[in-house]
Structure 1
Amino acid sequence: MSQCNHCETFVSNNFVRVFGDEDGNVYACPSCSANAGISQVSTERRASSL
């Protein structure tokens, strides 16, 4: 079962495939980010977690 690393909400495997990183981690989802900004927020959160 996949989940958002930020808010721990369930995300589908398709969502992970599209918005996840190469390791399958998701840093933003519709529950914790605006739909229009998921890619940008995900990139920013991933960069800050490294």
Structure 2
Amino acid sequence: MPRCDHCDSHVSDRFARVFADDHGRVRACPNCSANAGIAEVSLDRIAK
């Protein structure tokens, strides 16, 4: 059961396949970031 590394909310397997990094970590989800900016928020959180 994949979870967001930032807010620990459950995400679907489908969401994780699309937005997880190469190590399977989901750094942003609809619960902790705007839907339109999930990819950008993920990249920003990786950089920090």
Under TM normalisation by the shorter chain, which class is it? over 0.9
TM-score by length of structure 1 reads 0.91
Gaps of at least 5 residues in structure 1 are none
CA-based RMSD of the aligned residues comes to 0.6
1:1-50 superposed Cα distances (whole Å, 9 cap, x missing partner): 110000000001111110010111000000000000000001110121xx
Task: List, as ranges, runs of 4+ consecutive aligned residues in structure 1 with deviation greater than 4 Å.
Answer: none
Residues paired across the two proteins, number: 48
C-alpha separation in 2, matches of 1:30 and 1:3: 12
- What percentage of aligned pairs have identical amino acids? 56
For 1:13, the equivalent position in structure 2 comes to: 13
For 1:41, the equivalent position in structure 2 comes to: 41
User: Would you tell me which structure has more strand in proportion to its own residues?
Assistant: 1
Gaps of at least 5 residues in structure 2 are none
For 1:3, the equivalent position in structure 2 comes to: 3
TM-score by length of structure 2 reads 0.94
